[in-house]
Structure 1
Protein backbone atom coordinates (compact mmCIF):
# COMPACT_ATOMS: atom_id res chain seq x y z
CA UNK A 1 0.00 0.00 0.00
CA UNK A 2 1.51 3.34 -1.01
CA UNK A 3 1.49 6.56 1.04
CA UNK A 4 -1.39 8.03 -0.93
CA UNK A 5 -3.51 5.05 0.02
CA UNK A 6 -2.44 5.28 3.68
CA UNK A 7 -3.17 8.97 4.09
CA UNK A 8 -6.97 8.82 4.64
CA UNK A 9 -6.52 6.23 7.37
CA UNK A 10 -3.79 8.25 9.03
CA UNK A 11 -5.92 11.39 8.93
CA UNK A 12 -8.90 9.52 10.38
CA UNK A 13 -6.71 8.24 13.20
CA UNK A 14 -5.45 11.74 13.95
CA UNK A 15 -9.01 13.07 14.00
CA UNK A 16 -10.07 10.35 16.43
CA UNK A 17 -7.08 10.93 18.69
CA UNK A 18 -7.65 14.68 18.65
CA UNK A 19 -11.32 14.23 19.53
CA UNK A 20 -10.41 11.84 22.35
CA UNK A 21 -7.91 14.33 23.77
CA UNK A 22 -10.42 17.17 23.62
CA UNK A 23 -13.04 15.07 25.37
CA UNK A 24 -10.49 14.01 28.01
CA UNK A 25 -9.61 17.65 28.71
CA UNK A 26 -13.28 18.63 28.88
CA UNK A 27 -13.96 15.77 31.31
CA UNK A 28 -10.97 16.78 33.44
CA UNK A 29 -12.38 20.29 33.73
CA UNK A 30 -15.77 18.91 34.75
CA UNK A 31 -14.33 16.42 37.25
CA UNK A 32 -12.00 19.01 38.78
CA UNK A 33 -14.91 21.38 39.19
CA UNK A 34 -16.37 18.97 41.77
CA UNK A 35 -13.33 19.46 44.01
CA UNK A 36 -13.75 23.22 43.78
CA UNK A 37 -17.47 23.02 44.46
CA UNK A 38 -16.89 20.82 47.51
CA UNK A 39 -14.38 23.30 48.94
CA UNK A 40 -15.93 26.66 48.04
CA UNK A 41 -19.46 26.00 46.89
CA UNK A 42 -20.97 27.10 43.59
CA UNK A 43 -21.60 30.69 44.72
CA UNK A 44 -18.03 31.68 45.55
CA UNK A 45 -15.94 29.60 43.10
CA UNK A 46 -14.10 31.64 40.47
CA UNK A 47 -12.60 30.71 37.12
CA UNK A 48 -9.09 30.74 38.64
CA UNK A 49 -10.17 28.00 41.03
CA UNK A 50 -11.34 25.75 38.21
CA UNK A 51 -8.22 26.40 36.14
CA UNK A 52 -5.93 25.57 39.06
CA UNK A 53 -7.82 22.41 39.97
CA UNK A 54 -7.73 21.10 36.38
CA UNK A 55 -4.14 22.31 35.83
CA UNK A 56 -4.94 23.94 32.51
CA UNK A 57 -4.35 27.40 31.13
CA UNK A 58 -7.01 30.10 30.97
CA UNK A 59 -6.95 29.79 27.18
CA UNK A 60 -7.64 26.05 27.41
CA UNK A 61 -10.56 26.70 29.74
CA UNK A 62 -12.10 29.13 27.27
CA UNK A 63 -11.69 26.61 24.47
CA UNK A 64 -14.36 24.54 26.23
CA UNK A 65 -16.46 26.93 28.33
CA UNK A 66 -17.21 30.60 27.83
CA UNK A 67 -18.12 31.23 31.47
CA UNK A 68 -18.01 29.49 34.84
CA UNK A 69 -21.81 29.27 34.63
CA UNK A 70 -21.46 27.24 31.43
CA UNK A 71 -19.03 24.90 33.20
CA UNK A 72 -21.39 24.49 36.16
CA UNK A 73 -24.27 23.69 33.82
CA UNK A 74 -22.13 21.05 32.10
CA UNK A 75 -21.34 19.52 35.51
CA UNK A 76 -25.02 19.51 36.46
CA UNK A 77 -26.13 18.04 33.14
CA UNK A 78 -23.47 15.35 33.15
CA UNK A 79 -24.28 14.31 36.70
CA UNK A 80 -28.01 14.29 36.01
CA UNK A 81 -27.45 11.98 33.04
CA UNK A 82 -25.32 9.66 35.17
CA UNK A 83 -28.14 9.41 37.71
CA UNK A 84 -30.71 8.67 35.02
CA UNK A 85 -28.51 5.91 33.58
CA UNK A 86 -29.05 4.12 36.91
CA UNK A 87 -32.63 5.20 37.61
CA UNK A 88 -34.20 4.48 34.23
CA UNK A 89 -33.27 0.78 34.03
CA UNK A 90 -34.66 0.37 37.56
CA UNK A 91 -38.05 1.92 36.76
CA UNK A 92 -38.47 0.11 33.45
CA UNK A 93 -39.74 -2.84 35.46
CA UNK A 94 -43.04 -0.94 35.71
CA UNK A 95 -45.28 -1.42 32.69
CA UNK A 96 -47.46 1.50 33.74
CA UNK A 97 -45.90 4.80 32.51
CA UNK A 98 -47.43 6.67 35.46
CA UNK A 99 -45.69 4.32 37.90
CA UNK A 100 -42.45 4.81 35.94
CA UNK A 101 -42.27 8.57 36.10
CA UNK A 102 -43.51 8.61 39.70
CA UNK A 103 -40.84 6.15 40.85
CA UNK A 104 -38.20 7.84 38.68
CA UNK A 105 -38.99 11.24 40.19
CA UNK A 106 -38.76 9.87 43.72
CA UNK A 107 -35.49 8.05 43.02
CA UNK A 108 -34.00 11.20 41.49
CA UNK A 109 -34.88 13.17 44.64
CA UNK A 110 -33.65 10.33 46.84
CA UNK A 111 -30.30 10.36 45.05
CA UNK A 112 -29.93 14.07 45.78
CA UNK A 113 -30.25 13.23 49.47
CA UNK A 114 -27.61 10.50 49.19
CA UNK A 115 -25.25 12.91 47.44
CA UNK A 116 -25.96 16.24 49.18
CA UNK A 117 -23.18 18.08 47.31
CA UNK A 118 -24.97 17.19 44.09
CA UNK A 119 -28.35 18.06 45.61
CA UNK A 120 -27.21 21.49 46.78
CA UNK A 121 -25.62 22.14 43.43
CA UNK A 122 -28.63 21.09 41.38
CA UNK A 123 -30.90 23.47 43.27
CA UNK A 124 -28.70 26.38 42.18
CA UNK A 125 -28.72 25.30 38.55
CA UNK A 126 -32.42 24.44 38.66
CA UNK A 127 -34.46 23.39 35.69
CA UNK A 128 -31.74 24.42 33.24
CA UNK A 129 -30.38 20.90 33.78
CA UNK A 130 -33.56 19.64 32.12
CA UNK A 131 -32.73 21.28 28.81
CA UNK A 132 -34.00 19.60 25.65
CA UNK A 133 -32.07 16.45 24.96
CA UNK A 134 -30.91 15.79 28.52
CA UNK A 135 -31.93 12.36 29.76
CA UNK A 136 -34.32 13.71 32.38
CA UNK A 137 -36.21 15.50 29.60
CA UNK A 138 -36.11 12.49 27.27
CA UNK A 139 -37.30 9.91 29.80
CA UNK A 140 -39.93 12.11 31.44
CA UNK A 141 -41.45 13.05 28.08
CA UNK A 142 -41.43 9.39 27.03
CA UNK A 143 -43.46 8.30 30.04
CA UNK A 144 -45.81 11.29 30.03
CA UNK A 145 -46.59 10.90 26.33
CA UNK A 146 -47.34 7.22 26.83
CA UNK A 147 -49.54 7.95 29.84
CA UNK A 148 -51.47 10.61 27.91
CA UNK A 149 -51.86 8.29 24.90
CA UNK A 150 -53.28 5.60 27.19
CA UNK A 151 -55.61 8.20 28.73
CA UNK A 152 -54.13 7.46 32.12
CA UNK A 153 -53.84 11.21 32.73
CA UNK A 154 -56.53 13.81 32.27
CA UNK A 155 -54.22 16.31 30.66
CA UNK A 156 -53.75 16.94 26.96
CA UNK A 157 -50.49 18.90 26.91
CA UNK A 158 -47.26 17.06 27.66
CA UNK A 159 -45.38 20.32 28.20
CA UNK A 160 -47.70 21.29 31.02
CA UNK A 161 -47.30 17.88 32.65
CA UNK A 162 -43.52 17.99 32.21
CA UNK A 163 -43.24 21.43 33.81
CA UNK A 164 -45.34 20.34 36.79
CA UNK A 165 -43.20 17.24 37.40
CA UNK A 166 -39.88 19.05 36.96
CA UNK A 167 -40.95 21.84 39.29
CA UNK A 168 -41.93 19.23 41.87
CA UNK A 169 -38.55 17.48 41.59
CA UNK A 170 -36.29 20.50 41.85
CA UNK A 171 -38.24 22.45 44.46
CA UNK A 172 -38.66 19.22 46.42
CA UNK A 173 -34.90 18.66 46.49
CA UNK A 174 -34.26 22.19 47.70
CA UNK A 175 -36.91 21.92 50.41
CA UNK A 176 -35.59 18.60 51.71
CA UNK A 177 -32.04 19.97 51.86
CA UNK A 178 -32.84 23.30 53.50
CA UNK A 179 -36.05 22.94 55.54
CA UNK A 180 -37.46 20.50 58.11
CA UNK A 181 -39.64 17.97 56.30
CA UNK A 182 -41.49 14.79 57.13
CA UNK A 183 -40.30 11.30 56.18
CA UNK A 184 -42.43 11.03 53.05
CA UNK A 185 -42.11 14.44 51.45
CA UNK A 186 -41.43 13.10 47.91
CA UNK A 187 -44.30 10.64 48.14
CA UNK A 188 -46.79 13.25 49.26
CA UNK A 189 -45.66 15.58 46.50
CA UNK A 190 -46.14 12.87 43.88
CA UNK A 191 -49.57 12.03 45.28
CA UNK A 192 -50.59 15.66 44.80
CA UNK A 193 -49.18 15.64 41.26
CA UNK A 194 -51.02 12.45 40.33
CA UNK A 195 -54.36 13.56 41.73
CA UNK A 196 -53.87 16.85 39.91
CA UNK A 197 -53.32 14.87 36.72
CA UNK A 198 -56.70 13.22 37.23
CA UNK A 199 -55.92 9.88 38.92
CA UNK A 200 -58.39 8.70 41.55
CA UNK A 201 -57.14 9.46 45.04
CA UNK A 202 -56.70 5.82 46.07
CA UNK A 203 -54.73 4.97 42.93
CA UNK A 204 -52.57 8.10 43.28
CA UNK A 205 -51.82 7.12 46.88
CA UNK A 206 -50.88 3.57 45.89
CA UNK A 207 -48.53 4.66 43.11
CA UNK A 208 -46.94 7.52 45.03
CA UNK A 209 -46.16 5.32 48.04
CA UNK A 210 -45.25 2.13 46.15
CA UNK A 211 -41.95 0.53 47.25
CA UNK A 212 -38.99 1.76 45.23
CA UNK A 213 -36.34 -0.37 43.54
CA UNK A 214 -33.08 -0.30 45.49
CA UNK A 215 -30.25 1.45 43.66
CA UNK A 216 -26.55 0.95 44.10
CA UNK A 217 -24.03 3.77 44.06
CA UNK A 218 -24.12 5.94 40.97
CA UNK A 219 -21.19 5.08 38.72
CA UNK A 220 -19.70 7.33 36.08
CA UNK A 221 -16.75 9.64 35.44
CA UNK A 222 -18.23 12.40 37.61
CA UNK A 223 -20.13 10.60 40.37
CA UNK A 224 -17.30 8.16 40.96
CA UNK A 225 -15.50 11.05 42.67
CA UNK A 226 -18.27 11.42 45.26
CA UNK A 227 -18.94 9.32 48.35
CA UNK A 228 -22.63 8.80 49.12
CA UNK A 229 -23.85 9.48 52.63
CA UNK A 230 -25.95 6.98 54.52
CA UNK A 231 -29.47 6.81 53.18
CA UNK A 232 -30.74 7.36 56.72
CA UNK A 233 -33.96 6.11 58.28
CA UNK A 234 -36.29 8.33 56.24
CA UNK A 235 -34.90 7.15 52.90
CA UNK A 236 -34.90 3.56 54.10
CA UNK A 237 -38.56 3.87 55.05
CA UNK A 238 -39.36 5.30 51.62
CA UNK A 239 -37.69 2.34 49.94
CA UNK A 240 -39.41 -0.27 52.12
CA UNK A 241 -42.82 1.24 52.86
CA UNK A 242 -45.58 -0.77 51.21
CA UNK A 243 -48.33 1.08 49.41
CA UNK A 244 -51.40 1.74 51.52
CA UNK A 245 -53.57 0.45 48.68
CA UNK A 246 -52.81 -1.87 45.81
CA UNK A 247 -51.30 -0.08 42.81
CA UNK A 248 -52.89 -0.49 39.43
CA UNK A 249 -50.75 -2.62 37.16
Structure 2
Protein backbone atom coordinates (compact mmCIF):
# COMPACT_ATOMS: atom_id res chain seq x y z
CA UNK A 1 0.00 0.00 0.00
CA UNK A 2 1.36 3.42 -0.96
CA UNK A 3 2.48 5.66 1.84
CA UNK A 4 0.37 8.81 2.35
CA UNK A 5 2.05 11.90 3.72
CA UNK A 6 0.30 12.59 7.06
CA UNK A 7 0.80 16.33 6.59
CA UNK A 8 -0.90 16.21 3.20
CA UNK A 9 -3.67 14.02 4.63
CA UNK A 10 -4.35 16.62 7.33
CA UNK A 11 -4.31 19.38 4.72
CA UNK A 12 -6.85 17.51 2.57
CA UNK A 13 -9.03 17.07 5.64
CA UNK A 14 -8.92 20.78 6.41
CA UNK A 15 -9.76 21.67 2.81
CA UNK A 16 -12.72 19.29 2.84
CA UNK A 17 -14.00 20.73 6.11
CA UNK A 18 -13.68 24.27 4.75
CA UNK A 19 -15.61 23.33 1.58
CA UNK A 20 -18.39 21.68 3.57
CA UNK A 21 -18.62 24.62 5.96
CA UNK A 22 -18.82 27.03 3.04
CA UNK A 23 -21.50 24.81 1.48
CA UNK A 24 -23.59 25.04 4.66
CA UNK A 25 -23.17 28.82 4.84
CA UNK A 26 -24.19 29.16 1.18
CA UNK A 27 -27.25 26.99 1.79
CA UNK A 28 -28.22 29.12 4.78
CA UNK A 29 -27.83 32.31 2.73
CA UNK A 30 -30.10 30.87 0.03
CA UNK A 31 -32.74 29.92 2.60
CA UNK A 32 -32.54 33.29 4.36
CA UNK A 33 -33.19 34.97 1.01
CA UNK A 34 -36.48 33.04 0.67
CA UNK A 35 -37.83 32.94 4.23
CA UNK A 36 -37.36 34.50 7.64
CA UNK A 37 -34.22 33.57 9.54
CA UNK A 38 -36.26 32.31 12.49
CA UNK A 39 -38.24 29.86 10.36
CA UNK A 40 -35.22 27.98 8.99
CA UNK A 41 -34.62 24.57 10.60
CA UNK A 42 -31.62 22.25 10.56
CA UNK A 43 -33.62 19.86 8.37
CA UNK A 44 -34.25 22.68 5.88
CA UNK A 45 -30.58 23.52 5.89
CA UNK A 46 -29.15 20.04 5.32
CA UNK A 47 -31.72 19.40 2.60
CA UNK A 48 -30.68 22.63 0.85
CA UNK A 49 -26.98 21.83 1.25
CA UNK A 50 -27.35 18.18 0.26
CA UNK A 51 -25.49 16.86 3.31
CA UNK A 52 -26.32 14.55 6.22
CA UNK A 53 -27.78 16.06 9.37
CA UNK A 54 -24.81 14.93 11.41
CA UNK A 55 -22.54 16.92 9.11
CA UNK A 56 -24.18 20.13 10.26
CA UNK A 57 -23.27 19.43 13.88
CA UNK A 58 -19.68 18.68 12.94
CA UNK A 59 -19.34 22.30 11.81
CA UNK A 60 -21.83 24.24 13.94
CA UNK A 61 -23.10 23.86 17.49
CA UNK A 62 -26.55 25.16 16.57
CA UNK A 63 -28.43 27.43 14.17
CA UNK A 64 -27.50 30.68 15.98
CA UNK A 65 -23.83 29.83 15.44
CA UNK A 66 -24.50 29.30 11.74
CA UNK A 67 -26.44 32.57 11.61
CA UNK A 68 -23.40 34.34 13.05
CA UNK A 69 -21.21 32.73 10.36
CA UNK A 70 -23.54 33.98 7.63
CA UNK A 71 -23.40 37.42 9.24
CA UNK A 72 -19.61 37.31 9.13
CA UNK A 73 -19.72 36.56 5.40
CA UNK A 74 -22.02 39.52 4.84
CA UNK A 75 -19.67 41.77 6.79
CA UNK A 76 -16.75 40.64 4.62
CA UNK A 77 -18.71 41.26 1.44
CA UNK A 78 -19.70 44.73 2.59
CA UNK A 79 -16.15 45.59 3.65
CA UNK A 80 -14.61 44.31 0.41
CA UNK A 81 -17.17 46.21 -1.62
CA UNK A 82 -16.69 49.53 0.11
CA UNK A 83 -13.06 49.94 1.02
CA UNK A 84 -10.95 50.31 -2.17
CA UNK A 85 -12.47 53.60 -3.35
CA UNK A 86 -13.66 54.80 0.08
CA UNK A 87 -10.06 55.21 1.20
CA UNK A 88 -9.34 57.61 -1.67
CA UNK A 89 -12.21 60.02 -0.81
CA UNK A 90 -11.48 62.87 1.60
CA UNK A 91 -14.94 64.49 1.82
CA UNK A 92 -16.86 62.59 4.56
CA UNK A 93 -20.26 63.30 2.98
CA UNK A 94 -19.02 61.97 -0.34
CA UNK A 95 -17.62 58.92 1.44
CA UNK A 96 -21.00 58.24 3.00
CA UNK A 97 -22.80 58.71 -0.33
CA UNK A 98 -20.31 56.44 -2.06
CA UNK A 99 -20.70 53.69 0.52
CA UNK A 100 -24.48 53.86 0.35
CA UNK A 101 -24.41 53.84 -3.46
CA UNK A 102 -22.26 50.70 -3.39
CA UNK A 103 -24.68 48.95 -1.05
CA UNK A 104 -27.66 50.00 -3.15
CA UNK A 105 -26.03 48.90 -6.39
CA UNK A 106 -25.20 45.55 -4.79
CA UNK A 107 -28.81 45.17 -3.69
CA UNK A 108 -30.18 46.17 -7.11
CA UNK A 109 -27.88 43.66 -8.80
CA UNK A 110 -29.10 40.86 -6.53
CA UNK A 111 -32.41 41.41 -4.70
CA UNK A 112 -31.93 38.06 -2.96
CA UNK A 113 -28.74 39.41 -1.39
CA UNK A 114 -30.68 42.51 -0.33
CA UNK A 115 -33.23 40.31 1.42
CA UNK A 116 -30.53 38.34 3.22
CA UNK A 117 -28.76 41.53 4.32
CA UNK A 118 -31.95 43.12 5.64
CA UNK A 119 -33.08 40.01 7.51
CA UNK A 120 -29.65 39.18 8.93
CA UNK A 121 -29.20 42.74 10.17
CA UNK A 122 -32.38 42.27 12.21
CA UNK A 123 -31.39 38.79 13.44
CA UNK A 124 -27.66 39.17 14.17
CA UNK A 125 -26.02 42.19 15.77
CA UNK A 126 -22.69 41.48 14.06
CA UNK A 127 -23.96 42.17 10.54
CA UNK A 128 -22.26 45.25 9.14
CA UNK A 129 -20.45 45.96 12.42
CA UNK A 130 -17.25 47.11 10.68
CA UNK A 131 -19.18 49.16 8.10
CA UNK A 132 -21.27 50.76 10.87
CA UNK A 133 -18.13 51.80 12.72
CA UNK A 134 -16.65 53.39 9.61
CA UNK A 135 -19.94 55.08 8.78
CA UNK A 136 -20.10 56.56 12.30
CA UNK A 137 -16.58 57.95 11.87
CA UNK A 138 -17.56 59.61 8.59
CA UNK A 139 -20.77 61.01 10.10
CA UNK A 140 -18.79 62.52 12.98
CA UNK A 141 -16.34 64.09 10.55
CA UNK A 142 -19.20 65.44 8.46
CA UNK A 143 -20.99 66.87 11.53
CA UNK A 144 -17.81 68.70 12.51
CA UNK A 145 -17.35 70.06 9.00
CA UNK A 146 -20.92 71.38 8.88
CA UNK A 147 -20.73 72.73 12.46
CA UNK A 148 -24.20 71.33 13.14
CA UNK A 149 -23.39 69.00 15.98
CA UNK A 150 -26.30 70.22 18.10
CA UNK A 151 -28.99 69.44 15.51
CA UNK A 152 -28.71 65.65 15.58
CA UNK A 153 -26.12 63.46 17.28
CA UNK A 154 -23.79 61.34 15.18
CA UNK A 155 -25.08 58.21 16.91
CA UNK A 156 -28.69 59.03 16.04
CA UNK A 157 -27.69 59.93 12.48
CA UNK A 158 -26.04 56.52 12.19
CA UNK A 159 -29.22 54.73 13.18
CA UNK A 160 -31.27 56.85 10.76
CA UNK A 161 -28.91 56.09 7.88
CA UNK A 162 -28.84 52.37 8.66
CA UNK A 163 -32.62 52.37 9.02
CA UNK A 164 -33.10 53.98 5.62
CA UNK A 165 -30.71 51.53 3.99
CA UNK A 166 -32.38 48.47 5.52
CA UNK A 167 -35.84 49.67 4.54
CA UNK A 168 -34.66 50.28 0.98
CA UNK A 169 -33.03 46.83 0.93
CA UNK A 170 -36.32 45.27 2.01
CA UNK A 171 -38.18 47.25 -0.66
CA UNK A 172 -35.76 46.08 -3.34
CA UNK A 173 -35.97 42.46 -2.18
CA UNK A 174 -39.78 42.59 -2.27
CA UNK A 175 -39.87 44.30 -5.68
CA UNK A 176 -41.38 47.55 -4.38
CA UNK A 177 -38.28 49.63 -5.15
CA UNK A 178 -36.01 49.71 -8.20
CA UNK A 179 -33.06 51.60 -9.66
CA UNK A 180 -35.21 54.69 -10.19
CA UNK A 181 -35.34 55.11 -6.40
CA UNK A 182 -31.56 54.91 -5.99
CA UNK A 183 -30.70 58.62 -6.13
CA UNK A 184 -33.66 59.55 -3.94
CA UNK A 185 -32.51 57.11 -1.26
CA UNK A 186 -28.98 58.56 -1.28
CA UNK A 187 -30.38 62.10 -1.14
CA UNK A 188 -32.57 61.18 1.86
CA UNK A 189 -29.53 59.81 3.66
CA UNK A 190 -27.50 62.95 2.97
CA UNK A 191 -30.33 65.13 4.26
CA UNK A 192 -30.51 62.96 7.38
CA UNK A 193 -26.85 63.69 8.20
CA UNK A 194 -27.34 67.46 7.91
CA UNK A 195 -26.75 68.45 4.28
CA UNK A 196 -29.04 71.00 2.63
CA UNK A 197 -30.47 70.65 -0.89
CA UNK A 198 -27.54 72.44 -2.55
CA UNK A 199 -24.97 70.30 -0.73
CA UNK A 200 -26.88 67.12 -1.57
CA UNK A 201 -26.85 68.01 -5.25
CA UNK A 202 -23.13 68.75 -5.12
CA UNK A 203 -22.35 65.38 -3.53
CA UNK A 204 -24.53 63.45 -6.00
CA UNK A 205 -22.79 65.06 -8.97
CA UNK A 206 -19.37 64.15 -7.53
CA UNK A 207 -20.09 60.47 -6.83
CA UNK A 208 -17.32 58.29 -8.30
CA UNK A 209 -18.42 56.60 -11.51
CA UNK A 210 -17.13 53.29 -10.11
CA UNK A 211 -20.04 53.21 -7.70
CA UNK A 212 -22.22 51.96 -10.53
CA UNK A 213 -19.86 49.04 -11.23
CA UNK A 214 -21.34 47.09 -8.33
CA UNK A 215 -24.64 46.88 -10.19
CA UNK A 216 -23.19 44.73 -12.98
CA UNK A 217 -20.16 43.28 -11.20
CA UNK A 218 -21.90 41.51 -8.31
CA UNK A 219 -24.75 39.53 -9.82
CA UNK A 220 -24.79 36.53 -7.51
CA UNK A 221 -23.27 34.61 -4.65
CA UNK A 222 -20.16 33.35 -6.43
CA UNK A 223 -16.84 34.41 -5.00
CA UNK A 224 -15.48 35.10 -8.46
CA UNK A 225 -18.20 37.65 -9.07
CA UNK A 226 -17.40 39.29 -5.75
CA UNK A 227 -13.70 39.48 -6.55
CA UNK A 228 -14.43 40.89 -10.02
CA UNK A 229 -16.52 43.64 -8.42
CA UNK A 230 -13.76 44.63 -6.02
CA UNK A 231 -11.30 44.82 -8.87
CA UNK A 232 -13.58 47.05 -10.90
CA UNK A 233 -14.00 49.56 -8.08
CA UNK A 234 -10.36 49.75 -7.03
**TM-score under structure 1 length normalisation:** 0.66
Larger Cα Rg: Structure 1 or Structure 2? Answer: 1
Matched, 1:224 2:217: no
Distance 1:42 1:226 in 2: 26
**Cα offset, 1:97, TM superposition:** 1.3
Note closer, same or farther for the CA distance 1:84–1:55 as it changes in structure 2 (3 Å cut): same
**Cα offset, 1:165, TM superposition:** 1.0
Match of 2:99 in 1: 104
Q: 1:124 aligns with which of 119, 122, 146?
A: 119
Distance 2:26 2:126 in 1: 21
Match of 1:88 in 2: 83
Unaligned runs of at least 5 residues, structure 1: 1-9, 229-249
Alpha-carbon contact 2:75-2:128 (below 8 Å) kept: no
Note closer, same or farther for the CA distance 1:218–1:20 as it changes in structure 2 (3 Å cut): same
Distance 1:132 1:125 in 2: 7
Match of 2:186 in 1: 190
Distance 2:85 2:121 in 1: 24
Larger helix proportion, structure 1 or 2?
Answer: 2
Note closer, same or farther for the CA distance 1:36–1:129 as it changes in structure 2 (3 Å cut): closer
Match of 1:200 in 2: 196
Unaligned runs of at least 5 residues, structure 2: 1-5, 227-234
Matched, 1:154 2:152: no
**TM-score under structure 2 length normalisation:** 0.69
How many aligned residue pairs are there?
213
Q: 2:166 aligns with which of 149, 167, 170?
A: 170
Distance 2:205 2:183 in 1: 6
Q: Deviations over 1:157-189 (max 9, x none)?
A: 332121111101110111233354475423223
Aligned residues: CA RMSD: 3.8
Greater RCO (Cα-Cα under 8 Å, separation 6 or more): 2
Note closer, same or farther for the CA distance 1:210–1:191 as it changes in structure 2 (3 Å cut): same
Alpha-carbon contact 1:28-1:54 (below 8 Å) kept: yes
